[in-house]
Amino acid sequence: MTRYEDEADYGADVQETFAKFAENAVKDYRAGFRDWPDMNHVEEHILDLEAQLFPQALDEFCDRHARNLDRTIRRFDLEVQFYAAYRAFIAPMKTAGLEFCYPAVSAAARRITARGSFDLALAAKLMPRASAVVRNDFQLEGLERIFVVTGPNHGGKTTFARMFGQLHYLASLGYPVPAAEATLFLPDRVFTHFEREEDLATLRGKFEDELVRIRGALEEATGDSVLVMNEGVASTTLRDASFVGERVLDRMTDLGLLGVYVTFVDELASLNEACVSMVATVVPDHPATRTYELARKPAGGLAYAAAIAGKYGLTYEQLKGRLAS
C-alpha cells in the first residue's frame, strides 16, 4: 500500500471496459460495514497501515481527542480506584485479626444472616487495637423484617445500626464486608436517619426537623430498600416518641423493607410479627458496665428510664461522681 498522491483514478475506465460483458442483473457481492463500534481483524490491519502512512495525522487526532475517554473505561477507572483504596483501608484490620468475607447475596430472598459482623468506623478508630472491637451476629427469616434495637445509652445500639447499613451497602458494591460470614439482600437503595444538629436556616425545631426527614425517607423507600433509623429521644416526650415510632414501624412493615429501628421505647420491640427485638446487654452483676454485645431477646423495659435518668444527671455513675465530690 502506497500513497496515491496525484495519480489518476482509473476506476471509471475499468468500469467502461468491462461494461460490454454485462448481460443480466447479477448478485451484488459488495460487503457493507457493520454498525457496531468494534473492529474485526481486517479493519484493524487497515487502520495499522493507515497509521504507518500518515503518522502525523494520527498524532494530531490523538492530541485532539486526548480527553475523550470511553465512558465505560472512565467509570472503571474511578471504581477500581475506590476498590483499591477500600482494600488498602481494610488491610490493617485484617492483619489485626478482623475477618472480612464476600457475602452470599440475593435480590429476592429476604432471609439475611451475619456472623462476627462489626462496624468499620469503630474498627478504624480502635486501630491498631482493632481486634478489640466487639463482633455481633444477627439473622432475619420468615416474616421478620426489622430489628428494633433497645438498651442503655452507649451500649452499642447506634454502632449496630451503622454496621447493618454498611454491610448491605458494601455488598451491593461487590466488596468484602466486615463479617466472618454473611448472607445479605441486595437493596435498590440504603436510607439512613441519624440525629443531627438543628439547622436554624430551616426555621424548624429539632423534633419537627426529624419528622420531616423521616417522612422524606419513607416516601422514597420501596419494598426493596434498606432503612436504618436511629431515633432521637432528647427532643420529645415518651408519648410522642411512642406515637411516632408506631407509625414509622407500621409504614416500614407495610412496605416490607428490611431495616433497623433504634429506640428507647421498649414497647416498640414487640409491635408486630415483622419486628425482632435486639437488646444491648450489660454485665449482669454490674449493670453500669456495657458488653457492647446485642442479644436477640425481649426488651428489658428499662431503656427509656435509663435515657431520662441520663438526661437529667441521675444515672448511677453521675450520682456517684456527684456524691464523691
Give tens-digit pLDDT for 251-296.
999 999 999 999 988 889 999 999 999 999 888 777 777 889 999 9
Grid cell of 244 as nine digits = 411516632
Supply the mean pLDDT for the chain: 86
Q: What pTM was computed for the model?
A: 0.72
Phi/psi of residue 275, nearest 5 degrees: -90, 135
Handedness of CA 102, 104, 107, 109 (dihedral sign): negative
Domain 74-324 is of which CATH architecture?
3-Layer(aba) Sandwich (3.40)
Pairing between β-strand 146-150 and β-strand 275-283 as defined by DSSP bridges = parallel
For the chain, the domains span 74-324
Cell numbers at 89, concatenated: 483501608
pLDDT one-digit tens code per residue, 107-141: 999 999 999 999 999 999 999 888 889 999 999 99
Find out whether 238 and 304 touch, Cβ atoms under 8 Å: yes
Cell 407495610, located at residue: 254
Q: Which pLDDT score, from 0 to 100, does residue 21 have?
A: 76
Residue 185 to residue 122: CA distance in whole angstroms: 23
Separation CA 307–CA 241 (nearest Å): 13
Task: Characterize the bridge pairing of strands 286-296 and 112-117.
Answer: unpaired
Tell me what the mean pLDDT of segment 232-242 comes to.
72
- To which residue does cell 420529645 refer? 236
